[in-house]
Amino acid sequence: MRRKLSILSGVTWVAVTILGVQHAVAQEYYTYPTPPPQNQPYQPPPKEPEPKEKVSAHRGFQGGFNIGVPIWLNTDTSIVRPGADLHFFGGYDMGYVMFGIDLGAMWTPIDGNNIPDLPLGASPGRYPVTRLYAAPEVRVQVPNKSLVLPYVAMTFDINWWHFRQTGTACNFWYCVQVNVFDFTPGFTAKAGIAFRVRQGAHIDLGVKYSFSGPGNFFQRSEQWLTPYLGFFFR
């Protein structure tokens, strides 16, 4: 009995010794957390960078209208007066480029009283030259995150002109007098800046140069400048 107690106490002492050694080794290799230094301002962790917005990814309809003042070049400005141009356009906006259709009407007053060498007593008065036009348009623009959208555009114009020309159109029952419009081809180049006033809405400011070749209305080429102001939506 005494021998068994001696063996049990020996085993217990060995086990306690082993546990003590393991605890000492663990204490030697354990690293305690270092407290932050005193009086150091708090620095939040850096934020992850936000993904860059692709401003050129816009797809959708673009349309608008503007009002301009056509000023003819190489003409007598006392006879050919500045007029008015009403212009509508719409197309598909692809970000950096827009393909669309233009429709418009233009009126240029002609002051006949200033025509030289008029017969004595003649007073033609003032009468407008009317232009109706349609044109495909290609617009190149620079989309960005600012409030300003610059652009340039080109159109190929189909023009119909009228100035006091009339004709007679008849059917089976009666005849009527109608205005006659004559055709000329042309093109327009324009440059402008659009200022965003709210999401999708812009104030449009620019100038366009137009050229009309000779045709049924003009015997020579004509050209004019049109500063304009309007609105468009994209």
pLDDT in tens, 64-116: 999 999 999 988 888 889 999 999 999 999 989 999 999 999 999 988 777 77
- Residue 131's nearest CA partner among 207, 185, 177 is 185
pLDDT given for residue 48 in this prediction: 65
> Which of the residue ranges 32-36, 44-48, 200-204, 217-221 would you say has the lowest mean pLDDT?
32-36
**Per-residue pLDDT for 25 more than 60?**
no
Mean pLDDT of the 19-40 span: 57
Q: If residue 157 lies in a helix (H) or strand (E), which one and from where to where?
A: strand 148-162
- pTM for the model stands at 0.70
**Per-residue pLDDT for 217 more than 60?**
yes
pLDDT given for residue 11 in this prediction: 54
pLDDT given for residue 10 in this prediction: 58
**Per-residue pLDDT for 192 more than 90?**
yes
Mean pLDDT of the 105-129 span: 80
Confidence of residue 60 (pLDDT cuts 50, 70, 90): confident
Between residues 220 and 134, which one has the greater pLDDT? 134
pLDDT given for residue 31 in this prediction: 55
140 contacts 96 by C-beta, under 8 angstroms: yes
> Which of the residue ranges 23-27, 164-168, 196-200, 203-207 would you say has the lowest mean pLDDT?
23-27
Q: For residue 150, what are its two tokens?
A: 């610059």
**Per-residue pLDDT for 180 more than 60?**
yes
Highest mean pLDDT among 27-31, 53-57, 82-86, 110-114: 82-86
Q: Report the percentage of the chain scoring pLDDT > 90.
A: 45
Sketch the domain layout of the chain as residue ranges.
59-115+124-233
Residues 213, 218, 223, 226, CA torsion sign: negative
Question: CATH for 59-115+124-233?
Answer: 2.40.160.20
Mean pLDDT of the 7-34 span: 57
User: Rounded to 5, what percent of the chain is helix, strand, coil?
Assistant: 15, 50, 35
Confidence of residue 222 (pLDDT cuts 50, 70, 90): very high
Q: What's the full length of the chain, in residues? A: 234
- Residue 59's nearest CA partner among 30, 90, 96 is 96
